[in-house]
Amino acid sequence: MSEEKKITVALAGNPNCGKTTLFNSLTGATAYVGNWPGVTVEKRSGVYKGKKGVRIEVIDLPGIYSLSPYTSEEVVSRNYILDEHPDVVINVVDATNLERNLYLTTQLLEMDVPVVVALNMEDLLKKEGASIDEEKLSKILGVPVIGISALKQNNLSGLMEKAYEASKEKRLGKSVVNDSSLTEIFAKAVPIYQKREIANPLFHAIKALENDEIEIKANAEAYNEVNALKEGDERDYEADLADARYLYISRECAPLMKRKASEEKKTDKAPRLTLSDKVDKVLTNKWAGIPIFIVILLVIFHLVFSEDFLYLQAMGAFGEGIVVPDLGDSAWTGFFIGESGLASPGVLIMNLLNGFTGWLQGLVAEGFAAIATPEYEWVSSLVCDGVLGGIFAVLGFLPQILLLFLFFSILEDSGYMARVAFLLDRIFRRFGLSGRAFLPMIMGFGCSVPAIMNTRTLGTDNEKIQTIRVIPFFSCGAKLPILTAVSGGIAIMFGMPYVDLITLSMYLLGMIVALVSVLAMHMTTRREKVPPFIMELPAYHLPQPRALMIHLYDKMKHFLKKAFTIIFATTVLIWLLQHLSWNWTYLSDEGSSSSILASFGQFMQPLFTPLGFGAQLNSLGWVFAVAVVTGLMAKENAIGTLGTLAVSIGALASIEGVGDDMVLATMIQATGLTAGGAIAFIIFNMLTIPCFAAVATAKSELPKGSFKWTIIFWLVVSYIVAMAFYLMIDYVWTIAIFVPLFVLGLVGLFLYDRYKTKKENAECGSPS
């Protein structure tokens, strides 16, 4: 039996050309399909099994517009082709946007690698009454060309057959640029690389002429020699080469797209607006675009988090109020209807899951009570409160997080998120970020872990660092218990009935702090010119259910993998510290005030004095310090810790049937916490170091040397903002101090930025 042949095929193409859809169709892998430029941040691999006797490994490279080092995606794709030497590159081209997509093709052709051009979306092209002469295009480019539909899986076996045949023969790079003055310098530059036996000499020579940053670092000697050829020549070779490529495409390739006579007449009369164009007139309108997006976000958050669906209760639709059905001791009481109103879909799903886990936890507790002897009471507590409590703490918020992901996935896959990035780019650019940074930030409302991972699409290290540092300020689902419970406690204790207003204010405060922080970093330690943000707006289309489920599964898997184990382990650790004394004897709940955890809380308590929940509280005030520390492990633990300690310190006889807001109100009363201290507690937990899973993710994603400063940044910002609000709420006269200080700080930033800009311009010889 002959040994199976192996070849590697790399998929390269523009964002939104259908490249990842092709990858899924060829390999059956679960790579996410989306309309966000750079959605495939790292190469993904799978195996195509449709060719007998040949094992074809398919690599899905990030979507890119060129092979110039403007973004990390372009660097990843370029380095893979140059360094990993795939047997063949399939260049996926959106056939409906032929001219724009072929620019990347002209650069790929300059490499010494076999190339096959796949004209994707052939079905849409036919719908438009157009066709492309594949045979002539193949002759012009000098490589095989084949029409396919990745979505409908048309002609994929023919594509892979051509790719396999192309991989058998070596191919030398060829430039489409035939400008006489450029070809003359090519003839001198290419031998410089050939004599040094550097692979892909034509590609490297052209990059040297373009003053490519990566090329300068990788082949300094050869670059210097090529640069010497340009002595006295003031031409901008990068611009000239780009113009020459586009001229070639428009002159030689564009005419090969033919339309039916009827379609050509329509085109001659007036430009025909597509449905996407008509929708964009509204959704990307200069004045209406952002307000529409804010309304969409409000609707999404209402559907996921509201306990008063459609605000029916607030509008008095139920008269005196909703009468909650009396279901006795049933675990399902209040799931569909509660005192606040009808449950939104997100709250309903969360209630259903929590009802099931609560029933299961109670069942296990009853089982232990029936078989355990008093001396083994700790086993029941460990299993029910420690192990199951840790697992269910994670699962409790998973439905809302996944529902939020689902809505955002629909916005991404429909093509809308690309428009939002376009709208926000103009605003973000003033703060030192491009519109590309928007998606990771907004994902922070669901979970910081995937949001931080999504910063891989950003163009520079500085932009990535700034975005990762402010993502935790966009309150994730795990912080919701802190926001809602403490806001409810404040409403009960201090007569502030506007719980929703307090919660919304905390969300807005987080976003404002994020923008101010980015502005400060951009003007001081992270100064740089914002990189260009080039993005093609895809046509609107209905999201594919399969793609949505793949995205949802991917996010759920990541959440459980990254966060589940950490939260589970830390919850068990918290239980142990709460039930062990310093001489390692077991303590019941009633005795946990003398536990290791309590001692630690009393030691940490003075640190939070400037924030209003430190030494100024009575002897029980240490509980808030402990809640802050456990919240660092997992934000959900903060309120759970306070609930458990409410029983342990005697503030409550039992928390069974008592809402989180009442637990917090009782703790506020028992410790002497003020309204300002309670607000500061929310702010500090919202802005400080995120959960361990997010911290671990940030460490893996941040450039070397910036992780330590990021931790310090989170601590300093959260401490200062929480302290300022505590003092301004409890000591109103301090507003006269903090507001002028804030204004002076902003003025100082702008003056410093102006000074640095003048200095930088002077060093570069540019006019100020």
Query: pLDDT for 663-710, tens place per residue?
Result: 778 888 888 899 899 999 999 999 999 987 788 888 888 888 889 999
Tell me the C-alpha distance between 219 and 227, whole Å: 12
- Is 40 domain-assigned? yes
Model confidence at 647, pLDDT cuts 50, 70, 90, reads: low
Q: Which of 121, 120, 174, 100 is nearest to 143 (CA)?
A: 174
Statement to judge: residues 20 and 163 lie in one domain = yes
Q: How many domains does the chain have?
A: 3
- Is 442 domain-assigned? no
Tell me the C-alpha distance between 417 and 438, whole Å: 9
Q: Give the per-residue pLDDT at 158.
A: 93
- Is 246 domain-assigned? no
Residue 146 has pLDDT above 80, yes or no: yes
pLDDT tens-place string over residues 409-464: 788 778 787 788 778 777 777 777 777 777 788 777 767 877 887 787 676 788 88
Statement to judge: residues 98 and 15 lie in one domain = yes
pLDDT tens-place string over residues 16-38: 788 878 888 888 754 444 433 44
- For residue 151, give the CATH number of its domain: 3.40.50.300
Residue 350's identity, in one-letter code, is M
Is the pLDDT higher at 666 or at 726?
726
Please check whether residue 10 is in contact with residue 61, taking contact to mean a CB–CB distance below 8 angstroms: yes
Model confidence at 121, pLDDT cuts 50, 70, 90, reads: confident
Return the DSSP state at 542.
Answer: P
Please check whether residue 9 is in contact with residue 58, taking contact to mean a CB–CB distance below 8 angstroms: yes
Statement to judge: residues 33 and 74 lie in one domain = yes
**CA 723-491-478 angle, 5° bins:** 65
Give the number of other CB atoms < 10 A from CB of residue 80: 19
Statement to judge: residues 127 and 207 lie in one domain = no
Q: 27-51 in b/e burial notation, b at 16+ Cβ within 10 A?
A: bebbbbbbbbbbbbbeebebebeee
Statement to judge: residues 203 and 86 lie in one domain = no
Tell me the C-alpha distance between 536 and 17, whole Å: 10
- Is 543 domain-assigned? no
Q: Supply the range of the domain harboring residue 220.
A: 180-235
Statement to judge: residues 75 and 195 lie in one domain = no
Q: Give the per-residue pLDDT at 742.
A: 92
Relative to beta strand 337-338, strand 341-342 is antiparallel
The DSSP element (H or E) to which 747 belongs, if any, is: helix 735-764
Highest mean pLDDT among 112-116, 187-191, 428-432, 660-664: 112-116
Lowest mean pLDDT among 50-54, 263-267, 731-735: 263-267
Q: Which of 674, 34, 25 is nearest to 416 (CA)?
A: 34
Tell me the C-alpha distance between 507 and 477, whole Å: 12
- Is 456 domain-assigned? no
Q: Give the per-residue pLDDT at 35.
A: 37
- Is 664 domain-assigned? no
pLDDT tens-place string over residues 248-283: 999 999 899 887 655 555 554 555 666 677 888 888
- Is 366 domain-assigned? no
**Domain end among 140, 167, 194:** 167
Statement to judge: residues 111 and 202 lie in one domain = no
The per-residue pLDDT of the chain, averaged, comes to 79
Q: Give the per-residue pLDDT at 345.
A: 83
Q: Residue by residue, what is the 3-state secondary structure of 456-516?
A: HHCCCHHHHHHHHHHHHHCCCHHHHHHHHHHHHHHHHHHCCCCHHHHHHHHHHHHHHHHHH
pLDDT tens-place string over residues 563-598: 566 666 766 777 787 778 888 887 776 666 678 878
**Domain end among 220, 235, 250:** 235
Q: Give the per-residue pLDDT at 330.
A: 44
Statement to judge: residues 121 and 227 lie in one domain = no
Return the DSSP state at 764.
Answer: H
- Is 531 domain-assigned? no
Statement to judge: residues 85 and 47 lie in one domain = yes
Q: Round the CA-based radius of gyration of the chain to a whole number and report it.
A: 30
Q: 453-471 in b/e burial notation, b at 16+ Cβ within 10 A?
A: bbbbbbbbebbbbbbbbbb
Lowest mean pLDDT among 128-137, 164-173, 223-232, 430-439: 430-439
Q: Give the per-residue pLDDT at 141.
A: 94
Statement to judge: residues 94 and 228 lie in one domain = no
Lowest mean pLDDT among 8-22, 587-601, 723-737: 587-601
Residue 319 has pLDDT above 70, yes or no: no
- Upper half-sphere CA count for residue 423 (Cβ side, 13 Å): 21
Give 90's strand partners: 11, 116
Q: Who's near 66: CB < 8 A, 6+ residues apart?
A: 74, 103, 104, 107
Model confidence at 551, pLDDT cuts 50, 70, 90, reads: low
Count the residues in the chain: 768
Q: Which two tokens stand for residue 432?
A: 């030192």
Q: What is the DSSP string of 64-117?
A: -S-SSTTSHHHHHHHHIIIII--SEEEEEEEGGGHHHHHHHHHHHTTSSS-EEE
Statement to judge: residues 48 and 188 lie in one domain = no
pLDDT tens-place string over residues 345-389: 877 887 777 777 777 777 877 777 777 666 666 777 677 666 666
Residue 562 has pLDDT above 70, yes or no: no
Q: Roughly what angle, to the nearest 10 degrees, separates helices 416-430 and 289-305?
A: 110
Highest mean pLDDT among 35-44, 136-145, 222-231: 136-145
**Domain end among 146, 167, 188:** 167
Q: How large a percentage of the chain has pLDDT more than 90?
A: 22
Statement to judge: residues 19 and 151 lie in one domain = yes
